[in-house]
Structure 1
Amino acid sequence: MIEEPAAVLTVTMVAEATGYSVQQVRDLERLGVLAAAIRASNGYRQFAPDHVRDLHAYRDLAYAVGPVEARHVLRAIRSLPLTDAAALVCDLPARLNQEREQALAARVALHAISAEAATDTAPVAADAMTITELSRALGLRASTLRFWEQAGLITPDRVPTRSGSARRYQPAAIHHARITTALRAAGYGITDIQRTLTAIRELRDVSHSLAALDDRLHTIAQRQLALLRAVATIGQIIRDGESS
């Protein structure tokens, strides 16, 4: 049986088929994300259907793990030995699973904090903590609490001492520190946490934070699906490299 020659695609055809610009296609080939195109006698690039396939995989992978990591992976698998290339790809789902676990843990923490707000008795002065007590309770360094204070996330009282003053965290500050810990574990940045705490101070609940975590979990699920699509193609790229 005579094997039919692969279709020859111009860079414009590849761009139209994938939604990338002509320059982006050229750049991704130059960066090694795509296999090098064959050069015609006139110097023009000649692409194949596999290039379109690989660009779709790159788009999914970039959505799943970020464009920098996606470029690194697609470059590396073309040069690494089979065992190393397979290990690199198999590590990708673990990172997304870790993000999901962090978001789930943060959601559980926020649920607990929300429940406490509805059932706790009125706070008293004896509930206050020193910076050492609070850092130990949260599993943080004292320097982290001081940084959060500088960022306006938590506001301890200042108690006079012989050498100056000491931080004293009242129940409200402890509450905010626990919310901050939960959101940081889920990957939220300082600016997002500032907005969250502002809303909590005004609304006195964390329902919007729980909704935000639900949105994050949904996004992670979409990224996981995109990763599964990309990995199928990446496996084919690795097999092609082994057989060539």
Structure 2
Amino acid sequence: MKYQLITISLSTLLMTSIASAHDVWLTAKPISDRIIAEIGYGHDFPSKGRLPNRQDYFVLPRITTEQGSEPLESTETDYVYEYKQHLKNTENFIISTNMKPMFWSRTKKGWRPLDKQQAEQASYCQFSVKFAKTIVSDGNLKLDSYIFKPIGQELEIVPINNIFSNNEQVDLFQVFYRGKPLSHSQVEIDSAEYIKNSHNHSHSHAANNESKHPPHTAEYSVTSNNDGIISIKHLPAGEWMLLTKYKQPFENREQCDESVAVATLSFKR
């Protein structure tokens, strides 16, 4: 899979905080004759992102239905996108995006969006790419079959039973990496209510770009089995986000230390 790396101006470099410390998620809902989607970027799911000048960080979101996949359009509001075309079926659909890959190196002056060859005296480098997906349903007991299949993200969480139905006893999800089930993958699961209560704190970004956030403990944490499947007691009504990571050594260790993929799946039931 080929990626477009982000290029950042010097002024942005000096002002930005470490992106690897921020989660990325999506929310979406039909409004009148269109669908509105918002990219979340930070720690306060399900709110949309607030940091300015981040439009170029993200790939244009796409909507996936039984008919295929189409891009959304940008709006005048940062992190907000819309789909104006008429859908034959708006009972359920998927919105997806990803944050463009970036190098992040830790230096004496803090984190910088550079690899180890570009950054001065870097002690650690991470090549990071983040994927986000949200599934929207009107609560219909029957979901279209494509909902239960990967849409092609490098790292992806896919439901394998109807997460919107009150008839289910457990929720089942499967983690995929490059199209294959990923075993022994830790998946964190948080509700919006839990995040609001546990993240009721102030945080700041110091002058050296060190992000000051208390450690996060997930509401639930589950590890996938040999088939990449996780099982959890049926989640109550609310807004939910699942997050998983996959780390591996970077192919050129002189350039960077690790390659890290992060994926989120969000939904409301």
| TM-score by shorter chain over 0.5 | no
More strand by share: 2
**TM-score (normalizing by structure 2):** 0.21
Q: Structure 1 length as normaliser, TM-score?
A: 0.22
Larger relative helix fraction: 1
Larger Rg: 1
